């Protein structure tokens, strides 16, 4: 990178800064509004802890009964995972902590990934399938098809706070919760879930793909038709 | 108002606008960013004892705000016009944002927008950004370089006009 490049880089960043800085910004809300919002959130969280505890217990009971982290109001009596080696007791515990799939009252499904655990993509895929969600789940790579089917993935997947990408800063990784509206996935379309985790960084990416279409998989998520986040040769 | 409340109040007043601008740059919407930043500050208030010890509290707010809106941005990117075909501005661009800039920003990945937001609007250096994102400084540089390259390409007519 030479001086001209530096200058150009600077000019580009300045253009971005000036463009945004020139905009009139809304004045800050009253502090009381922020703290009230925080208190309301705190109350919701306390209420949610109880609900989540019940759901977690249900997930554990179902999982111990033979499921793989999948729980719902009416667990399906589908076939047990095929072609899966009988897990050791220890492996089962890890798998149970790795994720849970819980049906919500509004027809959505919540996928929660445990902190610090590697998920078994096939187990997640199967658990989602039991909830009527066709999915491709990949670990360490992010797959998409050339065309993104409508609707956008944002209409199908809602990430709860801190859900999509959380970078640890020494503290424990939170549990990303992903609310999936399976009924909004059109026929012939699948939800592609890519998952990557290392010691400090966890990244989950979602996109809708056409079932049966050729896949392009990269080690980094491609965020759009012109995404350039992947490695370049 | 006790000491912590006073401290948070000062932080809030001083940080609202820079955090908002950073999130606007990443989300492409003043209205949405305003809500996300308000939510992030509400969470900062709840966790103030932790956030106040954070090496870059503003970055904490911005990252929290951005994490609440990633899925929205992805939906939006599908709604934005393609470069070169944006004769009609999107309906909700009437909050004063430059459509060309928005179109350019949509070509960035989430991570690249995040790096831009932290670098440009919070004036964080590479090492601090790396610490915030939990990635290597070299990776931050790569994200920044690719982001700038994309922005330069997308904004090139405007750059040329300024040089001239």
A104 three-state secondary structure: coil
Q: In which band, very low, low, confident or very high, does the pLDDT at A100 lie, cut at 50, 70 and 90? A: confident
B133 and chain A in contact, CB less than 8 A: yes
Q: Which chain B residues are within 8 Å of A153, Cβ to Cβ?
A: 71, 74-75
- Give how far the C-alpha of residue B47 lies from the chain's centroid of Cα atoms, to the nearest Å: 21
pLDDT along chain B (164 residues), means of 10: 87 94 82 83 91 91 76 38 28 56 80 90 91 90 92 68 41
Q: Is the dihedral of CA A84, A88, A89, A91 positive or negative?
A: negative
Those residues with Cβ within 8 angstroms of residue A140's Cβ, 6 or more apart along the chain or in another chain? A195, A196, A219
Those residues with Cβ within 8 angstroms of residue B145's Cβ, 6 or more apart along the chain or in another chain? A1, A9
Q: Which chain B residues are within 8 Å of A220, Cβ to Cβ?
A: 109
B164 and chain A in contact, CB less than 8 A: no
Residue A196 and residue A136 in contact, taking contact as beta carbons nearer than 8 Å:
no
B89 and chain A in contact, CB less than 8 A: no
What pLDDT is attached to residue B68? 65
- Return the closest-CA partner of residue B107 out of A202, A16, A197, A24: A16
Q: Which of A23, A28, A232 sits opposite B30 (nearest CB)?
A: A23
In tens, the pLDDT along A187-217 reads 899 998 887 765 545 667 778 888 988 888 8
Q: Hey, are the CB atoms on B78 and A148 less than 8 Å from each other?
A: yes
Distance in angstroms (rounded) separating the CA atoms of residues B42 and B92 = 26
Question: Looking at chain B from residue 38 to 67, which residues have their Cβ under 8 Å from any Cβ of chain A?
Answer: 38-39, 41-43, 45-46, 54, 64, 67
Distance in angstroms (rounded) separating the CA atoms of residues A222 and B103 = 17
Q: Which chain B residues are within 8 Å of A178, Cβ to Cβ?
A: none
Strand pairing report for A165-167 and A201-210:
antiparallel
- Return the closest-CA partner of residue B46 out of B29, B60, B32, B56: B60
Closest-approach residue (CA) in chain A for B25: A20
Q: A23 burial class (0-12, 13-18, 19+ CB within 10 angstroms)?
A: middle
Distance in angstroms (rounded) separating the CA atoms of residues B32 and A128 = 31
Q: Which residues of B6-41 are buried (b: 16+ CB within 10 A; e: fewer)?
A: eebeebbeebbbbbbbbbbbbbbbbebbbbbbbbbb
A29 and chain B in contact, CB less than 8 A: yes
Distance in angstroms (rounded) separating the CA atoms of residues A123 and A136 = 11
What pLDDT is attached to residue B73? 40
Residue with tokens 């902190």: A115
Q: Hey, are the CB atoms on B75 and A153 less than 8 Å from each other?
A: yes
Q: Hey, are the CB atoms on A161 and B43 less than 8 Å from each other?
A: yes
Closest-approach residue (CA) in chain A for B161: A15
What pLDDT is attached to residue A46? 58
Strands (E) located in A28-104: 70-71, 99-103
Q: What phi and psi values does residue A158 have, to the nearest 5 degrees?
A: -120, 130
In tens, the pLDDT along A126-152 reads 999 999 999 999 887 878 887 767 666
In tens, the pLDDT along A31-82 reads 988 888 888 767 655 554 444 444 444 444 333 333 333 333 333 322 333 3
What pLDDT is attached to residue B7? 93
Which DSSP string corresponds to A141-182? -EEEESSPPSSPGGGTEEEPTT-SEEE-SSSPPP--EEEE-G
Compute chain B's Rg from CA coordinates.
17
Q: A107 burial class (0-12, 13-18, 19+ CB within 10 angstroms)?
A: exposed
Q: Which of A20, A37, A42 sits opposite B21 (nearest CB)?
A: A20
List the strands of the sheet with A165-167, edge to edge. Answer: A135-139, A189-197, A201-210, A165-167
Return the higher-pLDDT residue of A26 and A72.
A26
Measure A34 CA to nearest chain B CA, in Å: 5
Those residues with Cβ within 8 angstroms of residue A25's Cβ, 6 or more apart along the chain or in another chain? B17, B20, B21, B24, B30
Q: B14: part of which helix (H) or strand (E)? A: helix B3-27
Q: Hey, are the CB atoms on B9 and A31 less than 8 Å from each other?
A: yes
**Quick one: DSSP state of residue B88?**
S
Q: Hey, are the CB atoms on A37 and B64 less than 8 Å from each other?
A: no
Closest-approach residue (CA) in chain A for B121: A17
What pLDDT is attached to residue B67? 74
């Amino acid at each position: 990178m030479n001086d001209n490049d530096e200058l150009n880089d600077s000019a580009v960043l300045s253009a971005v800064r000036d463009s945004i800085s020139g905009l009139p910004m809304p004045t800050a809300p009253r502090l009381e509004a922020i703290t009230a919002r925080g208190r309301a959130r705190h109350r919701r969280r306390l209420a949610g802890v109880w609900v989540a505890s019940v759901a977690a217990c249900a997930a554990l009971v179902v999982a111990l009964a033979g499921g793989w982290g999948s729980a719902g109001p009416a667990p399906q009596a589908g076939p047990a995972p095929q072609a899966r080696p009988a897990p050791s007791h220890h492996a089962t515990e890890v798998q149970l902590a790795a994720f849970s799939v819980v049906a919500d009252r509004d027809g959505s499904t919540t996928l929660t990934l445990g902190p610090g655990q590697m998920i078994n993509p096939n187990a997640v895929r199967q658990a989602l399938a039991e909830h009527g969600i066709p999915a491709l789940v990949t670990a360490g790579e992010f797959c998409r098809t050339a065309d993104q089917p409508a609707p956008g993935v944002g209409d199908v997947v809602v990430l709860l706070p801190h859900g999509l990408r959380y970078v640890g800063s020494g503290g424990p990784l939170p549990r990303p919760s992903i609310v999936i509206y399976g009924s909004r996935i059109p026929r012939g379309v699948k939800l592609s879930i890519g998952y990557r985790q290392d010691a400090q960084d966890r990244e989950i990416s979602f996109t809708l793909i056409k079932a049966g279409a050729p896949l392009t998989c990269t080690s980094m998520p491609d965020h759009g038709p012109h995404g350039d986040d992947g490695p370049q040769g | 108002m006790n000491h912590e409340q006073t401290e948070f109040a000062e932080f809030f007043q001083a940080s609202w606008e820079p955090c908002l601008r950073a999130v606007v740059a990443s989300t492409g919407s003043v209205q949405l960013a305003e809500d996300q930043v308000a939510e992030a500050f509400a969470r900062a208030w709840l966790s103030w004892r932790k956030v106040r010890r954070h090496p870059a509290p503003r970055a904490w707010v911005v990252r929290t705000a951005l994490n609440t809106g990633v899925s929205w941005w992805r939906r939006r990117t599908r709604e934005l016009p393609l470069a070169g075909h944006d004769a009609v501005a999107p309906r909700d661009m009437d909050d004063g944002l430059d459509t060309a800039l928005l179109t350019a920003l949509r070509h960035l990945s989430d991570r690249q927008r995040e790096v831009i937001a932290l670098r440009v609007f919070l004036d964080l250096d590479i090492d601090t950004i790396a610490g915030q994102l939990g990635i290597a400084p070299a990776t931050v540089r790569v994200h920044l370089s690719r982001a700038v390259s994309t922005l330069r390409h997308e904004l090139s007519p405007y750059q040329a006009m300024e040089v001239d």
